[in-house]
Amino acid sequence: MSEYDRPHLDISSLVQRGEYKSPTSNARSDAVQRIRADHGQRLATELHEAFARADEGQGAPLADLPDINPAGGIYLEVELSPGAGALLVERKTEGTRQSAEKVLENGARTLALFVPDEARDKIAAVIADYTDGEITSPKGTPPRASRVEPLEHFREARLRTFWRDDPEALPTDPQAELWWGAWCFNDRVDRVTEIAEALGMQVGDAGTRMLFPETTVVPLFGRVSAIELLLFASGGIAELRRASDNPAVFTQELKEDLPAFVEDLAGRITWPGAQAAAVCLLDSGVNRAHPLIEPALSENDLLALDPAWGGDDHEHGPGHGTGMASLALHGDLVAPLADQSEPVLSHRIESIKILPPQGFPPNEPHSYGPITQSAVALAEINNPERSRVFCMAVTNSNRTGAEASAWSAAIDQAAAGAEGGDPDNPGPRRLFMLAAGNVPDSAVAADIEDADAFPALDPAQAWNALAIGGYTQRTDIAEAGYEDWSAAAAVGELSPYSRTSYLWDSSKSPFKPDLVLEAGNRALSPSGLEAVAGLDSLSLLAASRNVDTEPLTPFWATSAATAQASRMAAQIAAAMPGYWPETVRALMVHSANWTDPMRAALDASPGKTQKANCLRRFGYGVPDLGRALASASDDLALVAQNHIQPFRKDGAVRFNEAHLYELPWPREVLEDLDNTRVRLKVTLSYFIEPNPSFASAIDPARYQSFGLRFDLKRSRETAARFHRRNNAEMAGNGAGAASDPDSGWLFGPRSVSAGSLHMDIWEGAAVELAARNMIYVKPITGWWRERTGLGRYNDKARYALIVSIETPEAEVDLYSPIEALIPTAIEIET
């Protein structure tokens, strides 16, 4: 028998039995005094022991994590007597917080109580006052009785204290992994997620979180040992459950209640204004009648290339365009349907139907270039003032994107505003989101297990577009009959639906996909021989075209990922209306991080060529809206938008100018950090005008109108030498690859041969970065220079540059020293 199970006097039970009576005289009976003393002394002893054990059990493991600040308190488990009722144990004045309340078989309640360090003495004083304080009540009630007498036990809180799910479902193996539903106090969500990432846990993206008045449910994937550390290091978790919410809950268990769920969510949303930024879908049309779509899609914005087609979604079953519209507006619907949040939408939907319905002649395969440009023109003529992002998940299943096609070139042309053919009157720049294409379905797992065997599809190779692939965090299978099946991809890995560009010629093609977002997972049989696609629990949840019979439907693959990417781009465009499409693209890429499995693949790649091959599988990682919109104090981002004239004719056509940025690093702060590791991330984005001639398949320089590269000053290099070196390299061949390779870059300049989007990460000592305070943006050759007969050598271009510093090993404020400084480009004649 433990000390907590020993017999004790239950004051509340005595009261219920009528044995605890207030005497009529000023002196209490000996029995009542003994009850009071025993109860108070026992609680004081348990409290002291619980504090000591919590300091050892909850605080000691954190000593091995010096980069994580302590929570500033500990958790206790408090047991209340059966007669206590819904007692509020926490006190705002003390900073204590109660959570994870459970009812035991005997009717008693337990709860977790977070106790700040400064509140320990206050709680001990309350119990001491109850035990030894002078009784002044006319009824002879001890001081603090209403607060202390319902308390039965204090214990050190353990993992099981917070577990509010089936007790049998809590793993006992500390190395066991699962998806946890962490119910976090709203003011501690950021701290919980930051520490979870530091502990190597996978954190569900913002769209998977559920918001309630006092808590936010954050999905976390990791080991039992990691969640225990997170609990006590963060001080921000109220309770834990299995992260079991998935589309199957709605499509199977709550199917009859779906109309009520949809109506409730539609009523909680603040819908966008008529001129808000939009995601323009080029797809099969949209069912505007859906309650989760209609307020954000006006009838005037529901168009078709051929008016006879009608604008409604004609796809059989749940419809493709309607699901795309749903994900582009709301993301995965599981979380907003299940929580009590009040979403505020900053963007709308436009729909241009480019696929003819049944009964009409199909589109000619060679006509998709003109079709895409016609759809763009139709949207802009319909509403010329609106900012929009174009989203297209339609691909050419008969052609890979190994080299430029008429379709991909048409998209590059439209993105650059060059589709009109008049360089003196160009159109607006435009941002396109394209699907990388899906690995085909097959019941034979071996046929589809190697994603590299399935090259990304045309038109994903378009240089100026963001090609979107998929990764997955969906691994828990909920369907009956599949209890012994497993997910094909582990948490954070490439989705088994997503194609790659690994087989493309690396010397002639850009890295694709650029980014990956949630695309769902396949299921594998126990033998590993069979594969199944489209299980509800491994998919996302979206609106269906069948509003009356099936208002919600599972949605998956790179179409789902592309719709979500478009949503993020529109959110950035709405929040930052002064940013160009090139800049929005750069922000998305700059915000991206690789998951742990992706990072492990990069780390396991021995050379830069092998690391660059990883980009052809999962691109620059998973983008994050929060990081794109704002920088934390230890993640400083500098954004520049600028125009440049790459060439000039001076006898021969020569390079004209480069831009030199003096970066306002807080030099003294970096020097004080000495050898602390820091990361510098650089993203350069611009749109080229394509020239898909016969020679462009041989040399990327024949396809691009111009190109840009960046170079960072070496730590021991003077500004003059830095300028001379870059000028000499440009004068030599314009290839942009440094003749003096610079160590410290993750990919290096020699890995870049094509494309109009470049990102690299330099890592080194802070003291070295302090001296690397200049970055060069310089042109490389293209057909504007080489094809002099076309007379385009004096044309101007523009670009977006983003540079950020991260100090992952130290809590350092880099923003304050330079918050008033804005990087300025110094034009350098070359």
Decide: 454 and 499 in contact? Cβ < 8 Å: yes
Which residues does 250 contact at the CB level (< 8 Å), separation at least 6? 258, 261, 333, 334, 337, 541, 552
Decide: 648 and 794 in contact? Cβ < 8 Å: yes
User: Which residues pair with residue 803 across a beta bridge?
Assistant: 638, 682
User: Which residues pair with residue 400 across a beta bridge?
Assistant: 457
Whether omega before 219 lies within 30 degrees of 0, making that bond cis, reads no
User: For 273-285, how does the pLDDT look when each residue is reduced to its tens digit (9 = 90+)?
Assistant: 999 999 999 999 9
Sign of CA dihedral 381, 382, 386, 391: negative
Intra-chain end-to-end CA distance of the chain, in Å: 85
Distance between CA atoms of 765 and 751, rounded to whole angstroms?
23
Distance between CA atoms of 555 and 537, rounded to whole angstroms?
10
Query: In 3-state terms, the chain is what percent helix, strand and coil (to 5)?
Result: 35, 25, 40
Number of CB atoms found within 10 A of residue 557's CB = 25
Q: Which residue from 683, 681, 652 is spatially nearest to 781, judged by alpha carbons?
A: 652
Q: Between 224-234 and 189-198, two packed helices, what is the crossing angle to 10 degrees?
A: 140
pLDDT of residue 829: 57
The DSSP letter of residue 570 is H
Tokens 């949809």 found at: 262
Cα–Cα separations (whole angstroms), residue 288 to 291, 304, 312: 8, 14, 7
User: For 518-531, how does the pLDDT look when each residue is reduced to its tens digit (9 = 90+)?
Assistant: 999 999 999 999 99
pLDDT of residue 633: 34
Q: Which residue from 241, 246, 236, 244 is spatially nearest to 215, judged by alpha carbons?
A: 236
pLDDT of residue 736: 45
Whether omega before 513 lies within 30 degrees of 0, making that bond cis, reads yes
pLDDT of residue 424: 87
pLDDT of residue 809: 64
User: Which residues pair with residue 760 across a beta bridge?
Assistant: 682
Decide: 806 and 592 in contact? Cβ < 8 Å: no
pLDDT of residue 810: 59
Which residues does 298 contact at the CB level (< 8 Å), separation at least 6? 274, 348
Beta strands in 354-418, from DSSP E residues, in sequence order? 388-392, 396-400
The amino acid at 186:
N
CA atoms within 13 A on the CB side of 187: 2
| pLDDT under 70: residue ranges of the chain | 1-32, 59-67, 631-636, 694-697, 729-741, 809-830
Decide: 711 and 439 in contact? Cβ < 8 Å: no
